[in-house]
Amino acid sequence: MSTRVAIVEDEPELAALVADYARAAGYEPALFDDGAQALAAFQDAQPDLVVLDLMLPGLDGLSVCRALRAFSQVPVIMVTARVEEIDRLLGLEAGADDYLCKPFSPRELMARIKAILRRSGHAAAVLAVDSAAHRITVHGKPLDLTPSEYGILAALARRPGQVFSRAQLLDLAREGNASLDVTDRAIDSHIKNVRRKLEAVLPGVEAIHSIYGLGYRFDL
């Protein structure tokens, strides 16, 4: 089965160039020049990865990414000419997995696509987040998690390789449970419990990595 890469880009020449490179790299490109149209298409059939331009007519890339995250964890590479936007793009608010600044080399974009697909494909084959059921399965078997533990692990697992600060994880643990009394120290104890539960089903595998001075990162 071929890997479908959606390219959401309103500059036809750039879109065609990226599509050519994607095809040459063995992917099946799908072109969209409109954010709303792309989003509607993704609801019917999800691509394996999305290359998303930030500046689009109508619905911009940031809005597309946010709306997409409501129903999909498909990897997104954001393309932007606005360097000052990068923090927001990669932040929890928008939920992009990576970014490239315009003008970019299509070769570099293909390398990023390959790296992200490898990372997310491997992780997804082992651990799956079911947002609708608030459930996480490892090799198809559900983990027994508290709501805070679910919130933390789901956030980490949706963005393999991305470092989350304790403050970010706190916000996520509180989501949907505002009365929850979570402190910085409680995050560490939640992480400890999640690690123990993961270790029970994935012995010898370190899935949640501590990044000194920064926080935590998920990688399988």
Choices 53-61, 68-76, 175-183, 202-210 (CB under 5 A): range interacting with Ca ion: 53-61
For CA atoms 126, 163, 18, 42, the dihedral sign is: positive
Closest distance to Ca ion from the beta carbon of 102 (Å)? 8
Question: In this chain, which residue has its C-beta nearest to Ca ion?
Answer: 55
Closest distance to Ca ion from the beta carbon of 141 (Å)? 44
CB-wise, 35 or 160, nearer to Ca ion? 35
CB-wise, 5 or 127, nearer to Ca ion? 5
Closest distance to Ca ion from the beta carbon of 25 (Å)? 22
CB-wise, 61 or 151, nearer to Ca ion? 61
CB-wise, 82 or 139, nearer to Ca ion? 82
SS3 content of the chain, % helix, strand, coil (to 5): 45, 20, 35
Residue type at 140 in one-letter notation: G
CB-wise, 56 or 153, nearer to Ca ion? 56
Query: Contact at 8 Å (CB) between 8 and 35?
Result: yes
- Under the binding rule (CB under 5 A), the answer on residue 34 touching Ca ion is no
C-alpha–C-alpha distance, residues 25 and 2, integer Å:
11
135 forms beta bridges with 130
With CB under 5 A as the contact rule, the residue among 48, 53, 85, 98 that binds Ca ion is 53
Per rule CB under 5 A, count of chain residues that contact Ca ion: 3
Alpha-helix runs per DSSP H in 70-183 = 86-90, 106-126, 147-158, 166-174
Per-residue interface string for the shown chain with Ca ion, residues 54-73, x marking contact by CB under 5 A = -x------------------
Closest distance to Ca ion from the beta carbon of 60 (Å)? 9
- Strand 28-32 to 4-8 pairing: parallel
C-alpha–C-alpha distance, residues 79 and 105, integer Å:
11
Query: Contact at 8 Å (CB) between 21 and 45?
Result: no
For the chain, state the CA radius of gyration: 18
- Under the binding rule (CB under 5 A), the answer on residue 10 touching Ca ion is yes
> Would you tell me which residues interact with Ca ion (CB under 5 A)?
10, 53, 55
